[in-house]
């Protein structure tokens, strides 16, 4: 087992037991779907066709947020680290996870969505001085964030509760009503795709949303290019 794999597993184990203490583009370049072994395009979220691809090389922002999360969670095992704006934010997060463990997965999904959506919306330029930055959960709890930061915090909280990464995505899309880029977390479960969105209070079935055009989505192991059906 690699050091990276060990740190991921140990960090997630700690979180699960905590509480005691128009073309899709990235970085200005078109995303080109590459053939994935033993995988085929399939019907997907918001009426798209999902083309699977392995690896996260095209997504340094997402890979960086994941790496920071595993590092933060490892440090948090040593105790709460106060911050200027949100003291003991990992203790607060750990309590959410502990309080959610006994609930069924539907209640966990709605509870995590409700909890994260209470955070103030803060654009990346204010927080980081750049147009686009993907925060780790620790950074989100300290400084709050924008749409993809809510989605990342939701994704990794559900991972800590035992929802498999393979059943979840961070989905980058265009909001056709507002004509802006947006991101949400999605959970593929029981034949449905549930949307966790900072713009929509309840968790909803993706089929009820008609104004989102998905571009690409990512999980821990790979990514999907979304094409019109």
Average pLDDT over residues 14-30: 37
Report pLDDT digits (tens) over 137-160: 888 988 999 999 999 999 999 998
Residues 203, 114: Cα–Cα separation, whole Å: 9
Could you give the domains of the chain?
Answer: 3-11+41-228 (3.10.620.30)
Please tell me the predicted confidence (pLDDT) of residue 42. Answer: 75
Q: Tokens standing for 90?
A: 């990992």
E strand or H helix at 215: strand 212-218
Q: Tokens standing for 172?
A: 């980058």
* Contact between 58 and 206 (Cβ < 8 Å): no
What backbone phi and psi angles, to 5 degrees, belong to 37? -60, 135
Report pLDDT digits (tens) over 173-229: 999 999 999 999 999 998 999 999 999 999 999 999 999 999 999 999 899 999 998
| 76-79 contact pairs (CB < 8 A, 24+) | 76/14, 76/18, 76/138, 77/14, 79/21
* Contact between 158 and 148 (Cβ < 8 Å): no
* Contact between 214 and 130 (Cβ < 8 Å): no
* Angle at alpha carbon of residue 199, lines to 92 and 178, rounded to 5°: 150
Report pLDDT digits (tens) over 40-85: 677 899 999 999 999 999 999 999 999 998 887 665 555 555 454 4
Per DSSP, the residues of 154-182 read HHHHHHHTT--GGGEEEEEEEETTTTEEE
Report pLDDT digits (tens) over 90-129: 677 778 888 999 999 999 999 999 999 999 999 999 999 9
Of the pLDDT bands very low, low, confident and very high (cuts 50, 70, 90), residue 88 is: low
Q: Note the pTM of the prediction, 2 decimals.
A: 0.82
Residues 100, 96: Cα–Cα separation, whole Å: 6
């Amino acid at each position: 087992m690699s050091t990276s794999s060990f740190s991921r597993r140990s960090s997630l184990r700690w979180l699960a037991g905590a509480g005691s203490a128009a073309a899709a583009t990235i970085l200005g370049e078109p995303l080109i779907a590459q053939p994935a072994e033993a995988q085929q395009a399939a019907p997907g979220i918001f009426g798209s066709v999902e083309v699977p691809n392995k690896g996260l090389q095209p997504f340094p922002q997402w890979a960086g947020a994941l790496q920071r999360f595993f590092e933060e969670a490892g440090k948090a095992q040593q105790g709460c680290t106060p911050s200027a704006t949100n003291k003991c934010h990992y203790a607060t997060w750990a309590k959410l996870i502990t309080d959610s463990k006994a609930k069924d997965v539907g209640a966990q999904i709605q509870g995590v969505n409700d909890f994260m959506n209470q955070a103030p919306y803060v654009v990346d330029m204010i927080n980081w001085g750049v147009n686009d930055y993907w925060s780790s959960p620790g950074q989100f709890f300290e400084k709050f964030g924008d749409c993809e930061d809510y989605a990342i915090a939701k994704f990794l909280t559900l991972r800590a509760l035992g929802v498999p990464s393979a059943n979840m995505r961070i989905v980058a899309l265009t909001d056709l009503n507002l004509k802006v880029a947006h991101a949400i977390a999605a959970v593929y479960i029981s034949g449905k795709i549930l949307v966790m969105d900072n713009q929509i209070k309840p968790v909803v079935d993706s089929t009820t949303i008609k104004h989102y055009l998905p571009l690409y989505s990512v999980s821990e192991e790979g990514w999907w290019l979304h094409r019109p059906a």
